[in-house]
Amino acid sequence: MKKVVNSLVSLSGKTTKAFLISTAFASFAFAGATLDGNKNFSKLKNFKPNPKVTSQQCLSCHKAQDPGIAKDWAHSKHAQKGVGCVECHVVPKDYPTAFKAHPFKGANWTVQAAVSSVTCAKCHSKEVEEFLNSGHSRGGAQWLKENENPHGKAMTKLAFGYEGMKGGEGIEKEFTVNKGNSQVDVTVANTCVQCHGTTIKLDSMGKPLATTWPNDGIASLYPDGGVGNCLSCHSRHKFSAEEARQPASCSNCHLGPDHPDKEVFESSVHGHIFDTNEKDYDFSTGKQIPGKTLRGPTCFTCHMGSINGLNSTHNVSVRLKWNLWAPKSFERNGKNETAGWAWWNNMKVLRGNPKAGNIQGADAARSEMKQVCSSCHDAAFTKNYFSRVDADVKLYNQYRDMATKMYKELKDKGLIKKDVWSDPFFKLMYYAWHHDGRRMRHGAAMGSPDFAHWHGVFQVMQDIREMKDIYDYRMRMLKKLKDPKKVLETEPPMPVVTHE
């Protein structure tokens, strides 16, 4: 318990050394990672289904059964180019995701219901490799309960324990209603994993289980070694690039109190231009030509797009200098993500590399991002802008250090409650990082004054002062009462600001 809580609040302090070690080791282990490291990939690539099996046969049942799927596919580039149901769903009979009970099958083949990126990689190896190198690919791996490291455990506790899903140690009785309920994973399947991804599990006939499927999270882990949901941005069965280029395709995950990128974008000047001049944007092409296909950038322009000489990429981390989601921001040290590659290669999946970014380092990442801006803005404008972003990140880090110092002292003296989520100091510290502090940093980095200030630093400022009040009170009372338990028991309700 103690370990779990510590790791949840001190990711940037205590764990940094572990990050560095695992990063160095992992990049060595995966330096030459290729898609062929997964034997299922070669198996699928070399598999030739019986040429008499056609997508028209599939449609003979599925057109009536699933008219929406049939139409979406009919309207896709895939249909135009002759990529049909068979190319994605027909697999060898002994393939890890084979749905053995499907009514239509042959001697050496059947249908898969769980189609992973191993299938896509047959024809789109570039996109799959870039995705595996990106921070997106650790979305499902880094915190699942299979992941036996302190950070994974802390996140799992949050999902499975504290939210009343399964109950657990250190949690008040009234929040353990589901303890011992074997169906409880189904409830968890509605929460974190729908954005992050999960480990897809099948029954003995190859039919996916309700606890894990359907799931559109960004980095689900499939039985055949596939990682990622290409569906997250290219919804099935249209699989459209035009759809994925629009900010709405990021917005079902990148929103809300803890990473409001949708809202940040909408309240930036770029969002204002987009909302008022939609006809100035042409999403049917990836070519980002100012004045022709766009007037201002959208999410994919800055994070993935080919603009001003930059290549289009499925690695959303290459243009990032800082790590803004961390409790204390640090510079990304280059190197690629490793968690997705580990799963792909059938190796033990650890937390991955939170420092993944541009393999040439943080400055190269920043130069690439500036190269995006300089297709529309002048050099001095861009330089000044980013000097303010960096100052803001450093200011946040300073607040974080103050909070960590107080927390450590309280903890050492037994002045943090066992059920941390009923401890106002712990809650404030969490909000100051996870909600208010992220909003402050994302707001500053992407040009939203409202999020940088009112939803951001203004709230962080209040959090810190309230934490200080609680800290002072507990230290004072400890002197008087001598017993930390008594201090906590007699503590009056403490103010906690709203974190909308």
Binding test (CB under 6 A) with ligand HEC, winner from 123, 359, 395, 497: 123
158 forms part of the interface with ligand HEC (CB under 6 A): yes
CB-CB contact of 170 with 1 (8 Å): yes
Binding test (CB under 6 A) with ligand HEC, winner from 256, 292, 405, 465: 256
Buried b / exposed e across 213-240, counting CB within 10 Å, b at 16+? bebbbbbbbbbbbbbbbbbbbbebbbbb
Question: In whole angstroms, what is the distance from residue 331 CA to residue 355 CA?
Answer: 7
What own/partner pairs with CB < 8 Å and gap ≥ 24 does 290-295 have? 290/375, 290/376
CB of 29 to ligand HEC, least distance (A): 19
Binding-site string for ligand HEC from residue 292 to residue 311, where x marks contact by CB under 6 A and - marks none: --xxxxxxx-xxxxx-----
CB of 426 to ligand HEC, least distance (A): 16
End-to-end CA gap in the chain:
29
Nearer to ligand HEC, 302 or 415 (CB): 302
Between the alpha carbon of residue 429 and those of residues 181, 364, 375, 460, the distances in Å are 32, 33, 40, 9
244 forms part of the interface with ligand HEC (CB under 6 A): yes
- Considering only residues 460 to 499 of the shown chain, the ones binding ligand HEC according to CB under 6 A are none
Binding test (CB under 6 A) with ligand HEC, winner from 41, 175, 265, 471: 265
Nearer to ligand HEC, 58 or 189 (CB): 58
Nearer to ligand HEC, 324 or 416 (CB): 324
Nearer to ligand HEC, 220 or 415 (CB): 220
Between the alpha carbon of residue 288 and those of residues 14, 280, 305, 307, 359, the distances in Å are 43, 12, 7, 5, 24
225 forms part of the interface with ligand HEC (CB under 6 A): no
Question: In whole angstroms, what is the distance from residue 133 CA to residue 164 CA?
Answer: 35
Binding test (CB under 6 A) with ligand HEC, winner from 385, 421, 458, 473: 385
Binding test (CB under 6 A) with ligand HEC, winner from 91, 128, 318, 342: 128
- Considering only residues 332 to 371 of the shown chain, the ones binding ligand HEC according to CB under 6 A are 354, 356, 366, 369
Q: Which stretch binds ligand HEC (CB under 6 A): 20-28, 34-42, 112-120, 459-467?
A: 112-120
Tokens 């338990």, residue located: 485
Find the largest Cα–Cα distance for the chain.
85
120 forms part of the interface with ligand HEC (CB under 6 A): yes
Give 205's contacts (C-beta < 8 A, 6+ positions apart).
99, 100, 101
CB of 258 to ligand HEC, least distance (A): 7
440 forms part of the interface with ligand HEC (CB under 6 A): no
What own/partner pairs with CB < 8 Å and gap ≥ 24 does 200-206 have? 200/114, 200/116, 202/97, 202/114, 205/99, 205/100, 205/101, 206/97, 206/98, 206/99, 206/100, 206/101, 206/110, 206/112, 206/113
Q: Which stretch binds ligand HEC (CB under 6 A): 96-104, 171-179, 412-420, 479-487?
A: 96-104
Question: In whole angstroms, what is the distance from residue 424 CA to residue 416 CA?
Answer: 9
Nearer to ligand HEC, 254 or 474 (CB): 254
CB of 471 to ligand HEC, least distance (A): 26
Q: Which stretch binds ligand HEC (CB under 6 A): 22-30, 398-406, 439-447, 464-472?
A: 439-447
166 forms part of the interface with ligand HEC (CB under 6 A): no
- Short-list 245, 246, 216, 241, CA closest to 231: 216
Q: Which stretch binds ligand HEC (CB under 6 A): 15-23, 164-172, 213-221, 400-408?
A: 213-221
CB of 380 to ligand HEC, least distance (A): 12
What own/partner pairs with CB < 8 Å and gap ≥ 24 does 40-44 have? 40/95, 40/96, 40/118, 40/224, 40/225, 41/118, 41/121, 41/122, 41/225, 43/92, 43/95, 44/91, 44/92, 44/95, 44/118, 44/119, 44/122, 44/224
Nearer to ligand HEC, 141 or 403 (CB): 141
- Short-list 144, 135, 158, CA closest to 221: 144
CB of 229 to ligand HEC, least distance (A): 7
CB of 283 to ligand HEC, least distance (A): 9
323 forms part of the interface with ligand HEC (CB under 6 A): yes
Q: Is 487 exposed, middle or buried (0-12, 13-18, 19+ CB in 10 A)?
A: buried
5 forms part of the interface with ligand HEC (CB under 6 A): no
Q: Which stretch binds ligand HEC (CB under 6 A): 255-263, 405-413, 449-457, 473-481?
A: 255-263
Residue 411 one-letter amino acid: K
Question: In whole angstroms, what is the distance from residue 315 CA to residue 295 CA?
Answer: 24
Q: Which stretch binds ligand HEC (CB under 6 A): 12-20, 399-407, 437-445, 487-495?
A: 437-445
- Considering only residues 38 to 77 of the shown chain, the ones binding ligand HEC according to CB under 6 A are 53, 55, 57-62, 66, 69-70, 73, 77
CB-CB contact of 353 with 337 (8 Å): yes
Binding test (CB under 6 A) with ligand HEC, winner from 373, 403, 420, 460: 373
Number of residues that bind ligand HEC (CB under 6 A): 126
- Considering only residues 179 to 198 of the shown chain, the ones binding ligand HEC according to CB under 6 A are 191-192, 195-196
Binding test (CB under 6 A) with ligand HEC, winner from 19, 30, 41, 143: 143
CB of 83 to ligand HEC, least distance (A): 4
